[in-house]
Amino acid sequence: MRYIKIYLTCVRVAFSQAAAYRTDFILGNIITLLSNILFPLVTVVIYANGAEFPEWSMWEVLLIQSVFSMSTGMSAMLTQGILWTTMDHIREGSFEVVLLKPLSPLFYLTAVNFSTGSLGLFTGGLVLTIVSASNTGADAGGIPVFLLLFISGTAVLCGLDLVMAAITFKWVGNSRIPEIFDSIAEFGKYPLGIFPKPLRIFAAFVIPVAVVGFFPASALLGRLEWYMLVAVIPCALFLAFGIWLYDRMIKRYEGVGG
């Protein structure tokens, strides 16, 4: 209960900060949105040239990518700040500041790093999802399963943020770490069927990035398969792994520092 209160206070602070720097806030959000929704351009170009992903219409593919953007925006608001804050603290040797707070370090970092800068991305993704869905045979009955899969996919992205943040304890000052995980996440942006089986299994169950865009979109489109629901389990495990790894790094850091 105390933690929820603290979290809400931090969110409120983040929003009042955004209000104080309105112009920066709006511009920052627009730029984040634009740079994240450019890749569907490839899809538009493909269909505009009369080609296609076999068995998928343009709006269906765009739906996958819109859901992906929405999920990216959501996870960025929740956990992306942890990555950058950890990276800065480790490089400057000032991580102690975090340990001095009378809260669990991971919770503290999550709360103070609520990022309003990705609100635009989330909202933009939501709008595109609605537009794409209305251009396909999407079925409102799929919404509950969609939400379940959407939350699972966001959990994977949050888990990835934590794994990356944990890596920065070891690979100090490498601001290119996110590129590694962005490249893996690419597999979630397209119909999974275009990839060969080993990659499909990897993207569904090992690092379940397919759950970020493809699975929830399939649920909305009534193309749900049973194994997609099973993937909820590795998603939860992945987030748990991220939390465990980050926690372990903090413990080791304390060991070295003390």
Partner 1 sequence: MNPVRQKFEVCKAVAFVTYKEWSAYRSHSLVSVFVGPVYFIVQYFIWSAVYGGVGTFGGMELEQTIRYFGVSALIGYLTMDFADWNLQMLVRTGKFLTFALRPVHHRFFALSQKLGHRILGFIFEFLPCFLIFLFVFRIDIIPAHIGWTLLSTALAFLMNFYVNYCIGMTAFYFVQAQGIRTVYQLLASVFSGVLIPISFFPGAVQWVMMFLPFQYTNYVTAMVWTGAESIGELGLSIPQAVLFQGIAVIATALLSEVIYRASIKRFTAVGA
CA angle 200, 214, 155 (to 5 degrees): 95
Asked if 152 and 211 touch (Cβ cutoff 8 Å), the reply is yes
Tell me if 31 contacts partner 1 by CB under 8 A.
yes
Alpha-carbon gap, residue 242 to 232, rounded angstroms: 16
Taking the least distance from each CB to partner 1, the nearer of 200 and 236 is 200
> What are the helix and strand counts (H, E) for the chain?
14, 0
Q: Any idea of the CA torsion for 238, 118, 182, 158, to the nearest 10 degrees?
A: -10
Tell me if 186 contacts partner 1 by CB under 8 A.
yes
Query: Looking at 8-16, 33-41, 67-75, 244-252, which segment touches partner 1 (CB under 8 A)?
Result: 33-41
Strand segments (E) across 182-248: none
In angstroms, what is the minimal distance from the CB of 151 to partner 1? 25
DSSP 191: -
Query: Looking at 65-73, 91-99, 178-186, 234-242, which segment touches partner 1 (CB under 8 A)?
Result: 178-186
Query: Looking at 99-107, 131-139, 189-197, 209-217, which segment touches partner 1 (CB under 8 A)?
Result: 189-197
Alpha-carbon gap, residue 258 to 250, rounded angstroms: 12
Taking the least distance from each CB to partner 1, the nearer of 96 and 182 is 182
- Of residues 50 through 109, those in contact with partner 1 by CB under 8 A are 50-54
Footprint of partner 1 (CB under 8 A) = 27, 31, 34-35, 38-39, 41-42, 45-46, 48-54, 171, 173-177, 179-180, 182-184, 186-187, 190-191, 194-196, 199
